[in-house]
Amino acid sequence: MSILKVNTIQDRGGNAIISSDGSGNLTQTFASNTPAFFAKLSGNQTVSDNTQTLVNFDTEVYDTDGQYDTTNKRFVAPSAGKYVFTATAGFSNFDEPTGTRVHLQFYKNGSLEDFSGDMATVTNNASADPTMNFTSQISLTTNDYVDVRIYQNGGSDETLQSAYARFFGYRIIGA
């Protein structure tokens, strides 16, 4: 049996790709789901009737590579690859007629890329506020951007609850 003892494994450029602190704690830099980000609403947001409304994800919880743009409410891809995005949204005091349509949507470079389906409210009951979760895999090239929009057609403006609104994503390793 052979034993190899080293503290650092480097690539040809001299960059550490695996290192150990000598106590069994390993650090690696070659396999991580980055960039990764998590953004949320800082306050409730009005969603206008019968329009795609950009969700104001203006607060970063984390952003590993500085690629989430809080000004434009979007993630900008630093490199080509496949990315996974998840968005959640929930309304408060949603008192719209039965059959009102609600969509949670991912836009890529300003065009609809994917949406959560056509959720129709089944009751006219403010205590049954709709909450949606949606995950999608989207292929991006460098500088493509993704944002989240929401649609509802209940006949009046509605309130998107900040407590239920999140947007996060990451690049898939090796895909």
pLDDT in tens, 124-157: 555 566 788 899 999 999 999 999 999 988 888 9
| Cα(47)–Cα(134) distance, integer angstroms | 18
CA distances from 4 to 8, 9, 30, 101, 109 (A): 11, 11, 20, 62, 49
| Statement: the pTM of the whole predicted model exceeds 0.75 | yes
pLDDT in tens, 72-97: 999 999 999 999 999 999 888 777 77
